[in-house]
Chains A and B, each alone.
Chain A
């Protein structure tokens, strides 16, 4: 049941619990309890809204930053990650396999904002060896949702 609930609300966290109970063939209380439990256990970590900021008037830039670091003795990567993720402007921090160590995404109002963050806050850190900043030019798909066009039902209205 948990997996079914999660699969559903991962795509639509605003679903009415009563509806979700019907869809999954159970009752509302079970659903509400499971969700509350999973929130407590930290399985459900938050509820967010997927926004295409490009369609609004506000200016925003998003950057992906590759970060190479030297892990600290006894602490590995976790301590360095913490020093990075504590900045509120940082959106995601992932430990990555391959050519670099962290993938950091950051949102800023302007490119200058982002550049300033990298040069003033990220690069000077002791363990950081190098960074490479990539600015996102266009979002085609985010969180499984295609943002560039709306799906349209092109079927005939009645078929046998």
Chain B
């Protein structure tokens, strides 16, 4: 029989998290600090609206680009929160999670061999999506000494003739890093000068703990060369609803629309109705959750300091990214031993790119009690490792 598979997809590495997931799921009584989704339930008024839409029999396709009412609410929300204006008719596309937006933006924008700059450590899907779109991923390794922000120098050094697109994943999963206005201004200058485009993944934009989240789109000259990816998963605790959106110049959205239309048809109708309610009446829920995350973030930072574990202070998402280089083992070894000896699951930094070596992603989308129990075990483990080192 002939080989039924595509070489392109066979050559894509499976997500590094998979391996670890299999290990963890065998351990029944493990405490996990490994999830990438909120611990809160979707606020009831949002769920209720979803249920109501089902009761009313709204079980059909919506228009391909999404409910008109939802797109209008998205436009109003973006104006209110990041102070940019989009035409709901031509510049907004409702997608199946932020993930779909990332995929179709790359497919709409890349020609074979064109380079995509991907700062790492970062979310696992940028690199494979770039490859599947026929582009060539070029990794920019972010540095802890810069608090894992992207600097203009790093960007400039990575740009070649073939560079088409920069992925800008802030607030960042897994590091929790954010980009402040000055940071963005510096890179925007390079972006415009070198005439490249930006895919700004702002899915964690509502979870920013150092003043308001600033979008690169709000800087002069950037809206026309940026695709914004956002969604409902993190801000409104709606991961399972699979709903996101992409906004950008109408020429790009129009092509993304075609892929979306043929591959997806439309995002789930129930989720779209629920999302309208989220945008209309959800600001207070978001503020409450943000405050809860911020409290836990401070608690973790304090605990790390007490146990002498090096960690830069992250101001976004719900992750901290402590450094474990002092123990002289790889991230994966550390995570494996921590799991088998103390039954706590954390994700090795290398799951998010090679430069995540020496770091761990710890999620604080957990109750304080859960975090406390896990931190106690971490402390015990770290002390044991230090003792081993001195012998």
Contacts and interface: CB of A to CB of B under 8 A. Distances in A.
Nearest to B34: A158
Contacts of B302: 22
Contacts of A24: 295, 298
A153 B36 contact: no
A48 interface: no
A160 B299 contact: no
B9 to A, nearest CB: 18
Given A19-B299, A23-B298, A158 B17 contact: yes
A156 interface: yes
Contacts of A19: 299, 368
B25 interface: yes
A157 B24 contact: yes
A157 B299 contact: no
B20 interface: yes
B39 interface: yes
A153 B39 CA distance: 8
A19 B375 CA distance: 13
A159 B123 CA distance: 11
A152 B36 CA distance: 17
Given A19-B299, A23-B298, A25-B298, A160 B32 contact: no
A29 B299 CA distance: 17
B32 A157 contact: yes
Contacts of B123: 160
B35 A156 contact: yes
A4 B288 CA distance: 11
Contacts of B291: 4
Contacts of A157: 21, 24-25, 30, 32, 34-35, 345
B286 interface: no
Interface in A124-160: 153, 155-160
B347 A158 contact: yes
A158 B173 CA distance: 14
A160 B36 contact: yes
Nearest to B372: A19
B174 to A, nearest CB: 9
22 contacts: A4-B291, A19-B299, A22-B299, A22-B302, A23-B295, A23-B296, A23-B299, A24-B298, A155-B35, A155-B39, A156-B21, A156-B35, A157-B21, A157-B30, A157-B34, A157-B345, A158-B34, A158-B35, A158-B345, A159-B34, A159-B35, A160-B173
Interface of B: 15, 17, 20-21, 24-25, 30, 32, 34-37, 39, 123-125, 173, 291, 295-296, 298-299, 302, 345, 347, 351, 368
Interface of A: 4, 19, 22-25, 153, 155-160
Given A4-B291, A155-B39, 18 more contacts: A19-B368, A22-B302, A23-B296, A23-B299, A155-B37, A156-B21, A156-B35, A157-B21, A157-B30, A157-B32, A157-B345, A158-B17, A158-B34, A158-B345, A159-B34, A159-B36, A159-B37, A160-B36
List the 5 shortest-distance A-B pairs measured between CB atoms, nearest first.
Answer: A158-B34, A23-B295, A157-B32, A158-B21, A159-B36
